[in-house]
Amino acid sequence: MTKYPHALEKKTRHAALNIIIFGCLYMSALTSAAVQVIPKGGHETPSQSAQDTQLSSSQLKSNFKKAVSAYRAELRAYWPDAEISSKTRLVFYSDDYQQKQAVDFKANEIQVTMPSLRQGKVLNYREMQKRLEKTLIQLLSTNLQTAVNLDPINSKMETLAGIRYAQDLGAMGRDLILGELFRDERPSIKAVERMAKKLSKAAYIRYPAVASLNLAFAFNDRTTYIISLPEKRIRTKAIRYKSFIYDYAQKYSLPPSLVFAIIHAESHFNPLARSQAPAFGLMQIVPHTAGVDASHLIYKKQKILSPSYLYNPKKNVQVGAAYFHILYYRYLKGITDSKARLYCAIAAYNAGTSSVMKTLTGSSSISKAVGSINRMSAPDVLRKLLRQMPTAETRGYLNKVLNLQKTYAQL
């Protein structure tokens, strides 16, 4: 049974499974009464909508910050770095907080850190191998819905706000976090056990990790196993998502290769990705900016999209594709060269339109900048963005998406 922070209710403890995910759930709200919340994968109820909109953006951000701080404070008793999930890493802990698992989607590997088992001064590899295999079975059995429902940070936010954030992800909630490792989308228990055994046999020890040089943590003698995942894993997951990516690319008049490229660059196909923006899901949607714009196009009304909504892969891609459509066909429609406009839209997806316009022309106003941009060639626009965008992140992002687009053109 998974051990939850002390602040959680007893019923939550009893419902816990062996593995929990510490991906952060955050609900952002606008102060405008015209903005509503979409819970439960898009189905509104009057009571839920009214209740959620009573909370201001500042209140929700405060609840998020308090929940993260409180949980990290608890983790530091066992793990000084108090790592929680991020854009490309899903982090899990055992019931006693002595074992840590991380799925690194970018490095394409699983990391399992556990207490070192020794026979005298020598590691007891046989027993550690058994423990590793058991851990992998639990990890490989975890689906998206379970991960979201049992998120301790989400539960802390519910306690602070008195509302329910975690919602039904629908059929996709039954997808396993690493389902792309299996031939069937719903693998049998035997298939999971076989995969766990296969991965555990290929695991290697990178280093014995001591949590701190401080004597207070000297008991934390730990060993980290590294399990490399198949090179084709990301491509396999992309193919699993191909049908609805193509559907939404067509709906919003975008090249499918572009949508694939953005997903890869943003999250490495981690459906539970979360950044500190905070942004959520495959295409890293910020609820109160891109989410609001996209919801207006999709639902004809501005709405706050909950993190749980955005953790649904299909819904996230719809929102991300809709938002890129808005960037390319609405905000930047005055740029006449299609390639120059594409370069600007990709950079704007990462950094915002104002930053892109200011980099190219010195003015953050789109209407003022368009004329100057139209006097530039597409190669000049690209060159200036790659050299002069204020952050290395955006410069690298633009280059990465363009290169990935070539890769996914063949999918």
> pTM score, two decimals?
0.83
Which residue, among 407, 406, 348, has the nearest Cα to 373 in the 3D structure?
348
Question: What are the tokens at 228?
Answer: 């490399």
pLDDT higher than threshold 50 for residue 10: no
In whole angstroms, what separates CA 33 from the centre of its chain?
Answer: 28
pLDDT digits 0-9 by tens, 206-230: 865 444 444 333 445 899 999 999 9
24: nearest Cα among 279, 205, 209:
279
- Region of 88 (left: φ > 0; alpha: ψ -120 to 50; beta: rest) is alpha
Angle at 71 between CA 68 and CA 73, to 5 degrees: 105
pLDDT tens, residue by residue, 104-139: 999 999 999 999 998 888 889 899 999 999 999 999
Give the per-residue pLDDT at 400: 99
Q: Mean pLDDT of all residues in the chain? A: 83
> What is the set of domains in the chain, with CATH numbers?
10-231 (no CATH), 234-408 (1.10.530.10)
pLDDT tier at 58 (50, 70, 90 boundaries)?
low
Token representation of residue 106: 């970018």
Q: Strand, coil or helix: what is 46?
A: helix
Q: What is the mean pLDDT of residues 255-273?
A: 98
DSSP secondary structure of 280-348: BTTTTB-IIIIIHHHHHHHHSS-EEEPHHHHTSHHHHHHHHHHHHHHIIIIITTT--SHHHHHHHHHHH
